[in-house]
Amino acid sequence: MDSVFIRDLRVETVVGIYDWERRIRQIVSLDLDMSTDIRRAAGSDRIEDTLDYKAVAKRVAQFVSAAQFQLVETLAEKIAALVLDEFKVTQVKVTLHKPGAVSGSKSVGVSIERSAPSR
């Protein structure tokens, strides 16, 4: 299976368990790896025949910006479900970074892989 990916998509959102985190917007960084067959697009050279990564990025950014979750795990799970439900991908890997969450580290976060139900 082929992969279309997005790296370091930065979006402001509300995420965290502490009261002060619930009152501010923080930047999260997303990496998406999406499994899809790109052969048709490669043959036709038409955007309509491929997974439009700009459309994916725009939709995910819109969702994340409006979200308000306590856990990055929940946010990652919801992003994976959205990508699988709304775009023609068979599998998605979501890596969510929360920069500055732990003193002394560049970033912390989660990475999950989910597959679409058999169609």
Of residues 54, 58, 98, 106, which has the active-site annotation?
Answer: 98
How many other C-beta atoms lie within 10 A of the C-beta of residue 32? Answer: 23
Domains of the chain in sequence order? 2-115 (3.30.1130.10)
What is the C-alpha to C-alpha distance for residues 43 and 2, in angstroms, rounded to an integer?
14
Tens of pLDDT, residues 48-67: 999 999 999 999 999 999 99
H or E segment and range at residue 35: strand 26-36
Q: Is 78 a catalytic residue?
A: no
Short-list 79, 60, 73, 81, CA closest to 16: 73
Q: Which two tokens stand for residue 35?
A: 């499994």
| 79: Cα separation from own chain's centroid | 5
pLDDT in tens, 19-48: 999 999 999 999 999 999 999 999 999 999
